[in-house]
Amino acid sequence: MADYRAHIEPIREAIHHVLEGGRYILGEEVAAFEREFADFLGIGHAVGVGSGTDAIHLGLRVLGIGAGDTVVTVAHTAVATVTAIELSGAEPLFVDIDPDTYTMDPALLEAAILSGANVKAVVPVHLYGHPANMPAIMEIARRHGLAVIEDCAQCHGALCHGRMTGTWGDLAAFSFYPTKNLGAIGDGGALATDNRAFAEKAAALRQYGWKNGNISEWSGGMNTRLDEIQAAILRVKLRALEKSNHRRSEMAGIYDTLLASTPLVLPCSPADGSHVFHQYVVRSHNRDGMRAYLMENGVHTQIHYPVPAHLQPAYRRLAAGEAALPVTERTCGEILSLPVHPGISRQEATMVCELLLQWHSTTRLPT
């Protein structure tokens, strides 16, 4: 909540402006936010939608991907990525992750493409604020004639080889869930693209396929619209995003420095890019003991994500056998997200580190 308190007056003014204007769906605030967000990314178009899940789903519909098609993605992600693929009617196909970045391993992507039936697209996930290896992923996808939709739900403002995440693929899906680096006070999302035809189709499909008035130009339309109040709030928050990301990086720098002497595996830095630390994720063989110690001392942590998608009951049918994704499965048993949001102070981040140093100095269990 501290992130919102920092912007409370301009947010109140933005909400008041919407309420006074009397238009609450797809009005001037949404149009302005779409322009401003596209400009921030350095891309041609952004289309506001109801959620990040809807953004991926809509992107697949724009590309004509559906029943009988296969989409390659990762199992180490918020399950929304997989849900969105299934909503389109396509079948997800999982590829393992890089052990350092926790994002799609390009070295394994081509084999997955060749093993899958009717693969049409790749959905790489920029996880925790760390970009996926988009140059390698794009090269493989292009060689096989596949579309790419970037899942950018956790990487607002991150750079990959000097380019903003969300500008590499044919389309990019963003979430504005309240906890995101750029968050609303409810659900929201956007689909970004440099392709005008894709943007026009997305804008129609988000509202029943309407293009001219209430006439459906496209079949298979949805009802997934970013509302005016959320767009107004996002316009306020967007102006502060770079400062907010910098604050996250400062907190991550404290962790990096003070935890360097521990056996913990700390986040890696992107090659020729930037990490925006949606999460600060460490790894430990004794993750659960460490987490319990922090909780006993008043530090709340999270595990993103404790069970990979292919081991969850709804998606076990997609697993390709025992230990099919060994890096993913090992990672999910070791990761822990430390507090890193802009609302924590340097003193609080230092306290977390001091507790972890104490725990490592006293525990005899393997780390």
pLDDT above 90 (res 280): yes
Mean pLDDT of 39-63: 98
Architecture in CATH for domain 2-239: 3-Layer(aba) Sandwich (3.40)
Give pLDDT, residue 322: 55
| Number of Cβ atoms within 10 Å of the Cβ of 39 | 12
pLDDT above 90: percentage of residues in the chain: 92
Q: Nearest 5°: CA angle at 32, between 28 and 33?
A: 120
The token pair that represents 180 in the structure block: 């995101």
pLDDT digits (tens, 9 = 90+) for 159-204: 999 999 999 999 999 999 999 999 999 999 999 999 999 999 999 9
Architecture in CATH for domain 242-362: Alpha-Beta Complex (3.90)
pLDDT digits (tens, 9 = 90+) for 84-108: 999 999 999 999 999 999 999 999 9
Q: How far apart are CA 73 and CA 82, in angstroms?
A: 8
Mean pLDDT of 40-60: 98
Mean pLDDT of the residues in the chain: 95
DSSP 31-89: HHHHHHHHHHHT-SEEEEES-HHHHHHHHHHHTT--TT-EEEEESSS-THHHHHHHHTT
pLDDT digits (tens, 9 = 90+) for 253-273: 999 999 999 999 999 999 899
Element (H, E) at 302: none
Residue 74 neighbours by CB under 8 Å, 6+ apart? 81, 94, 95, 96, 97, 103, 104, 124, 125, 328
Q: Is 134 buried (19+), middle (13-18) or exposed (0-12) by CB count in 10 A?
A: buried
pLDDT above 50 (res 39): yes
Q: How far apart are CA 130 and CA 274, in angstroms?
A: 7
pLDDT above 80 (res 2): no
Crossing angle for the helix pair 241-258 and 346-362, to the nearest 10 degrees: 30
Listed in order, the ranges of the chain carrying CATH 3.90.1150.10 are 242-362
| Number of Cβ atoms within 10 Å of the Cβ of 301 | 16
pLDDT grade, residue 1 (50/70/90)?
Answer: very low
Mean pLDDT of 3-20: 87
Residue 96 in 3-state DSSP?
Answer: coil
pLDDT grade, residue 134 (50/70/90)?
Answer: very high
Give pLDDT, residue 116: 82
Tokens 């924590």 identify what position?
344
Listed in order, the ranges of the chain carrying CATH 3.40.640.10 are 2-239
pLDDT digits (tens, 9 = 90+) for 306-361: 999 999 999 988 876 555 899 999 999 999 999 999 999 999 999 999 999 999 99
Q: Is 117 buried (19+), middle (13-18) or exposed (0-12) by CB count in 10 A?
A: exposed
Nearest CA-CA partner of 126 in 88, 76, 65, 87? 76
Nearest CA-CA partner of 133 in 122, 144, 143? 122
The token pair that represents 275 in the structure block: 């990490």
